[in-house]
Amino acid sequence: MNKLIAETKSRIFEGIMPMDLETMLGCIGYHIGSYKKGEIIAFEAENIRHVGIVLTGAVDMVKEDLWGNRTMIVRMRKDELFGETFVCGAVNTSVVTFSVSEDAQILFLPFDRVMNSCTNTCVFHHQLIENMVRVIAMKNLELMRKVEVVSKKNLREKILAYLSLQAQLHESRYFEIPLGRIELADYLCADRSALTRELSKMRDEGIIDYDKNMFRVF
């Protein structure tokens, strides 16, 4: 079995032993794609037939409007899943673009083969289906958090909501965020320069402190 697959800690494979995982993947079929930063895995309006699991690197879910304004909805890193929202519905057309933000290797699984037990009715395949449902539920929760952040009235409130969420996830007031300034501006639907100015003001006022991606909230 591929070394990267054997080492993945993706929640979709929880409870499945390595020897069973190899058998299962051989049954449902899979392929691995390699991508460079900036490459597109799938464009908006493209039909999606596979779910992707990030083995290395990072992938952004991106939405663009008619004028080319770009909003990053969420970033998927190692062991995270993407594409499941579109392949599990009646319509397989993606409403977002999946763009590679860091050189990546992606494990692709055919969704119809994942969600339908094979003729051997393997116990571990049933576990895979249960895991898939849990992962989809967790991704929906993550998107709800994003909506909570970007629905705030102004940029400062958005920043505070995002940092509060990160502090809760890290269970600490001192933490590292996973986004650089450009990516954070995209995530917050804000101008990068405005974001930089507001962060500086908040630091001067003693609300936060930061060094690159390390933040402290007071």
Q: Is the pLDDT of residue 89 over 70?
A: no
* pLDDT at 206 exceeding the cut of 80: yes
In this structure, what are the phi and psi dihedrals at residue 164, rounded to the nearest 5 degrees?
-60, -40
User: Over the chain, what is the mean pLDDT?
Assistant: 90
173-198: pLDDT as tens digits? 999 998 899 989 988 989 999 999 99
The reply to whether 107 and 10 lie within a common domain is yes
**How do residues 134-170 score in pLDDT, each as one tens digit?**
888 888 888 888 899 999 999 999 999 999 999 999 9
Is residue 13 located within the same domain as residue 81? yes
| C-beta separation of 181 from 212 below 8 A | no
Residue 118 pLDDT class (50, 70, 90 cuts):
low
Same domain as 33, residue 123: yes
Residues 101, 195: one domain? no
Task: Show the domain range for 171.
Answer: 152-217
Alpha-carbon 92 to chain mean position: 19
Between residues 31 and 87, which one has the greater pLDDT? Answer: 31
- CATH classification of the domain holding 157: 1.10.10.10
Which of 131, 149, 167 is at the close of a domain?
149
Same domain, 212 and 124: no
* 52: pLDDT strictly greater than 90: yes
Spatial separation of the C-alpha atoms in residues 146 and 151, rounded to whole Å = 8
Identify the pLDDT of residue 92. 77
Confidence of residue 19 (pLDDT cuts 50, 70, 90): confident
User: Of the candidates 149, 182, 202, which is a domain's last residue?
Assistant: 149
Q: How many domains does the chain have?
A: 2
Q: Are residues 158 and 145 in the same domain?
A: no
Q: What is the pLDDT of residue 64?
A: 84
Is the same domain home to 145 and 161?
no
Whether residues 80 and 162 fall in one domain: no
Same domain, 42 and 60: yes
pLDDT at 59: 96
**Of 125, 149, 173, which residue constitutes the final position of a domain?**
149
Nearest to 184 by CA among 196, 174, 172, 168: 196
